[in-house]
Amino acid sequence: MVPTVELPSTRPYLIRALHHWCSDHGYTPFLAVAVDGSVRVPMEHVRDGQIVLNLSHEATQGLDLGNETIAFKARFGGVAREIRVPVERVLAIYARENGQGMAFPVGASAGELTHAGAEAAPDTSLASGEVSTSTGLRLATRSEDSDGEAPPPDAPPPRPALKRVK
């Protein structure tokens, strides 16, 4: 039997590439993050378990888009704060001006991203107009978009899907 090799995640590379693309074209890169105990952000700005961060060079100091963690300093209400986000908690990176970017499943391993990538690709790419004016992005599960009924207990966990919020 051939041992399976865990492939490294492509997520940090895609985040860096989209950040670079936004910066090169004069767009403001926004990062949507699912907040839990591993994320260090100003909790007073967290809404519905998520926060949207401005990753532009003008808004950050010491930005480090690492393979495991995204870290930088930013001002919130005039107060400098240290921000630390594990890469696996990133929901999406996109341009504020047009919504172009990419959404990611939270907590998926590299293998899940690699094997599910072809099937999930059409649903995980942000399209123009998918950005709300209040929070930048709101992710909803497919079960929330249905008739409001909870999925059966043996159903696989729902994938994040983009939902327009007006």
H helices of the chain, in order, are 11-24, 110-124, 142-145
Phi, psi torsion values for 31, nearest 5 degrees:
-120, 120
Considering only CA atoms, which of 58, 87, 89, 90 is closest in space to residue 75? Answer: 58
Query: How many CB atoms neighbour CB 135 within 10 A?
Result: 15
Residue 151 lies in a domain: no
Range of the domain at 131: 11-137
> What span, in angstroms and rounded, lies between the C-alpha atoms of 105 and 102?
10
What CATH number is given to the structural domain containing 49?
2.30.30.220
Query: pLDDT tens string for the chain (166 positions)?
Result: 677 788 889 999 999 999 999 999 999 999 999 999 999 999 999 999 999 999 999 999 999 999 999 999 999 989 999 999 999 999 999 999 999 999 998 765 444 443 333 333 333 333 333 333 233 444 433 333 334 454 455 555 544 555 555 5
Residue 161 lies in a domain: no
Q: How many domains does the chain have?
A: 1
Residue 144 lies in a domain: no
